[in-house]
Structures are given as C-alpha cells and as structure tokens.
Structure 1
C-alpha cells in the first residue's frame, strides 16, 4: 500500500507553494518533514543522484520510481514463490498468484503515475498512486478469502515497505 506516506509526500510536492524552488538544497528535507517516515523519505530521495538538483516534480518522480521498483520486486518475489509451492496446496498457490497479479498492476499504476507526472497531469498521477495503494491492499485481502491461510510475514513486510514509501 502506497497511500500512508507517498500520498502526503505527493501532496506536499504539488500543493505547497513554499516547496517549489528548483535546486533548493533544503528541498528534500523540507519535503520529507511533511511525511510520516522522514528517514525513509530522505534515504529514498537521496538514493537518486539527480535529487540535489531536482525540483518538486523531480522529487515526486524519484519517489514514484522508488515505489515502482518496490512493486516490481515484490511481483518477482511472489511469482517465484508460486513456482516453489507444491501442487497439493492450490489455495496458497492461487493466493500468491493473485498477489503477484495485484503487485504487477500496482507497478503498472505507478509507471502510469510517472508518465503523468512527466506530462504534468497531476490529477491522473494522484489517481494512479491511489490505485497502486489499492492493488497492494488487495493482496492482503485476497488471503482473507482463504481462512486456513495465514498472510505470510514476508509479504506483509513488503506491503509495509511499499506503504511507507
């Protein structure tokens, strides 16, 4: 789920007129102070070599790309685990496959948000970020359909990581 941190960051980047300064050394810090996970925000933005020169749009693009990488990595992780499950556990296999599909859709939604940000279509970018959050959340909900299955802690941790981004 993306919404708990990324959406406030997204809103801070485009609604707050005090943050629209190109090349501001303190822009990353000012932006990250408006988020719930300051240290993660700082490390995510600083992981990109272009962030010191980025304006607010550039920082939003960096965060969208970080979230997209997280969703893509989770899709790969889930897909590889589907292959390792024995044929006898069809419920687990089905739940993992559905989760992989949801995270793939989240990655696509985040890719669309990157394109929308680049085109300055901020309403659509926001809509795609919210869709990505819903897709990640749908993975957890999918496990609830199978009462005998436990939501794996590894997937919960990945979901939480995406949520915090």
Structure 2
C-alpha cells in the first residue's frame, strides 16, 4: 500500500507566509516524524492566489463560510475593504491541484484562516469574533475528497494515518 503525503499550511512549518509576514510553527513529534519521512508538502494558498506577504488581514464577510465564497454568496474582504475573494478561490483551486500532484490524501491546515480554517473561521467583523466553518481552501480540499484536519487535530490525523488508510 502506498503512503499518502500530507499537504500542510506552509506557516505551520514556520515559513513567513502569514498575512503579518510571520510563520506559526506547529511543534509536535508527529510533525518531526512526517518531515523525516518526507511526507509533508508545504503550501500557502493565499500566496498561490497572488496575494503579497505581508498583506492586510482578511475575513469572510457577514459570518459566512468558504462554501459561501465558492458559490458566490459571500466575499473575502481585507480590513482595508478590498475584496480578495478571487485570490482566495484561485489559491484554493491551486492547493487542490498541488495536493493531487503530490499524492496528498490529507491536509493539515491552520485554523481560523479564511483560506485554511476547518474548525473555525473569523466572522468578518475584525473584532476577534469567530464561528464554526470552513475557509475557502479547506472547503475546496474537502470537495476534492482530501481529508482536512486543523492544527488542533494533529492527534486525530496521526491516528487516522496509523489506521493505514
């Protein structure tokens, strides 16, 4: 049986790709093991969609979700007021293509992000309010049949991989 790779938010490996120009390294023995096995494939959908780093923070408007953005019912708006929905959708589509090209059956993504959030996303008020939902990339990956885990679910991903599927 072939071993599946894991698409990982580049910021979780410490790469300075977040909106604030920083990384957010995820420290866990499983990360070290998967790195050593060559299974981690880093990707930043926001950069892939053409956004610069650093960039203004962005949130999905009105308490909507990434699914709403994909379907054209909501937008991803920067704090400046600029609509960056197209960049988020394009980056998400590139993430799906990249994951498929690199044999990724799983994704480990940073929670809260309007791209990568899978447990929660911010509500669009830029006040720290959040709600359950998927970001744009997480929604597109799930639609493509790739299992998505947040950075808070690394134990669940490790257990899933231990099942050998």
Normalization by structure 2: what TM-score?
0.25
- Larger Rg: 1 or 2? 1
Structure with the larger strand share: 2
Q: TM-score, normalised by structure 1?
A: 0.25
